[in-house]
Chains A and B, each alone.
Chain A
Amino acid sequence: MSEPISEADLQAYADGHLPEERRKAVDAWLASRPEESERIAAYRRLASEVRAAYNTMLSEPVPPRLTQVAAAGLRWRRVAVVAGWIVLGILIGVPAGWYSRPERLVTQVVPADPSMIARRAAVAHATYSPEVRHPVEVGADDEQHLVTWLSKRLGVKVRAPKLDDFGMSLVGGRLLPGENGPVALFMYQSQNGRRLTLYVRTEASRNRETAFRYARENNVNVFYWIDREVGYALASADLTKDELLRLANLVYKQLEMS
C-alpha cells in the first residue's frame, strides 16, 4: 500500500501498538510470508509468557521493609520540604539582598567563579520548572515584549533562541536577581513536558570566552559558557547530558549569529 513494512512496524504489530489501517497492511504483508509470520507470533507468545512469569509479583504482599521506606518517606517529606525552602532561601536570598542595596552593587563586584553560574542556574531550574500555573512571568505569545524587557533590564541584547527543531518550544521568561545585576531566565518545554531553562546574566569581567563546561547539581544537568560580556547556563533535570550538549551547541550557534 503506502509505505513499505519496516522492522519497527513489525515490532509495533507484535505489541498491538499499530493504528488500524497500518495493522491491516501488516496483516496482508505477513499473509504471504510464513517465516516472518511465525517469528512475530513467537514474539507474541514470548511476551505473554514473560508477563505470566512475573505477574505473580503483582499479587504478592509487599515486604514490610519496602512499606516502611514508604511510611518513613511520608513522615520525612514534610520536614524535607521545609528544609528545601530554607536552603533555597539561603542560595537565592544572599544575592537578592545584595541587589536590594544599590550602593554596593557598583563597588562590590563578585569575583567571577564560573561554576557559581551553574549552581544558580540549577537552583533557578529546580525552583521554576516544576511550576504548572506560573512557570514564567511573560509568556511566549508576547515574545517581542519579553525580549525587549529583559534586554533593557540586563543592559545587553538578549534573545530567546529557537529550539523548535529539537522539539523544545519557548514557554516564556522571567527576571531574577543575580550577583551583578538582573538575570534573564527563559523556559522551554517539549511536547511530553520535559523542561529546559536558559539562564542569562551579564559578566563582571568582559572580553572573556570559555569553552562549554558541564556541571551536575542535584540531578540538574548544566552546560555553561561565557561569551564576552554575557554568561549562559543551559539547565535541565529532564534531559540527558548528551541531549543537553546538543542543545547547548545549537543555542551557542544561534546566539553567535545574532
Chain B
Amino acid sequence: MDEAKRLVELIPRLRRYARALVGERAGADDLVQDTLERAWAKLHLYRRGTDLRAWLFTVMHNVHVNRVRATRPVDPLEEEMPELAQRGTQPDALLVRDLDRAIARLPADQRAVLLLVTLEEMSYEEVARTLGIPIGTVMSRLSRAREKLRAMMLGQTPPSAKLKLVK
C-alpha cells in the first residue's frame, strides 16, 4: 500500500502541526493518534492520485474540531498556558513559550489557516480545500491571524524579544 507508507512518513508533519495547534506535547500526540486511527478507518475514501497530505490534514482538522467541541469550552483569553515543555533544553524555549501563548489566543479557525500556510507551506487553494472553506475566507483569516500575532508578539514579550535583538 503506497498510501499506507506515505501516511507513516507524514506522521512527523502531523505532529508538528498538532503541537503548534494544541499548544502542548501530550495533547498534540493524542490528536495525532486519533487522526491516524480515523485515517486508517477512512482510507478507502481517499482517492488515489489526489493529495494525501491535504486529505490527512482534513481528517486531522475534523478530528480536532470534534474534540474541541466535545471537551469543556475553553476561553483562550483567560487560559494561561502553564506547560513549559523542554524549558531550558532548547535554545529558544522562551520564544516557543511566547509563540505557544500567542497562537493559543488566536481564534481556532484563524489559527488553523495560519499554521497550514506557515508550517505546511500550503498554497491558499490547498488550505481552502483542506479546511473546506472558500479561498476568500482563507485570505481574510490569514490576514487577521497575522496582525493579531504581530500585535501580541510586539506587546507582551519584551524579554525574549530583547534576547533575539542582542544576538
Alpha-carbon gap, A65 to B32, bound state (A): 10
Q: How far is the CA of A54 from the CA of B4 in the complex (A)?
A: 25
Q: How many residues of B contact A (CB 8 A)?
A: 53
Q: Which of B89-105 contact A (CB under 8 A)?
A: 90, 92, 95-96, 99, 103
Q: Is B13 a contact of A17 with CB atoms below 8 Å?
A: no
Residues in A neighbouring B43, C-beta threshold 8 A: 73, 77
Q: Quick check: B118 and A17 within 8 Å, CB to CB?
A: no
**B143–A130 CB distance below 8 A:** no
Instruction: Give chain A residues whose Cβ lies under 8 Å from the Cβ of B7.
Output: 70, 73
- Bitwise interface map of B from 1 to 18 toward A, beta carbon under 8 Å scored 1, else 0: 100100110011101110
Within the complex, the shortest CB–CB distance from A51 to chain B, in Å, comes to 6
Docked-complex contact A66 and B49, CB < 8 angstroms? no
Interface residues of B in 65-111 (CB under 8 A from A): 90, 92, 95-96, 99, 103
Q: How far is the CA of A168 from the CA of B124 in the complex (A)?
A: 19
* Complex partner residue of B119 from A11, A12, A50, A56, CB under 8 angstroms: A50
A 14-36 binary contact with B (CB < 8 Å = 1; else 0): 11010000000000000000000
Summed over the interface, the residue pairs from A and B with CB atoms below 8 Å come to a total of: 128
| A contact residues around B96 at 8 Å (CB) | 53-54
Q: How far is the CA of A67 from the CA of B12 in the complex (A)?
A: 11
> Within the complex, what minimum Cβ distance (angstroms) separates B138 from chain A?
9
Known A-B contacts A51-B118, A53-B95, A69-B36; A193 and B15 likewise in contact (beta carbons under 8 Å):
no
Spell out B's residues near A (CB within 8 Å): 1, 4, 7-8, 11-13, 15-17, 19-20, 29, 32-33, 36-37, 39-50, 90, 92, 95-96, 99, 103, 115, 117-119, 121, 123-125, 129, 132, 139, 142-143, 146, 149-150, 153-154
16 more CB-based (< 8 A) A-B contacts, given A11-B143, A62-B11, A65-B29: A17-B123, A49-B99, A50-B20, A50-B99, A50-B118, A51-B119, A53-B95, A56-B90, A57-B12, A57-B15, A69-B33, A70-B11, A70-B36, A72-B40, A77-B1, A219-B42
7 contacts between A and B (CB under 8 A): A43-B150, A51-B118, A53-B92, A54-B17, A132-B48, A132-B49, A192-B129
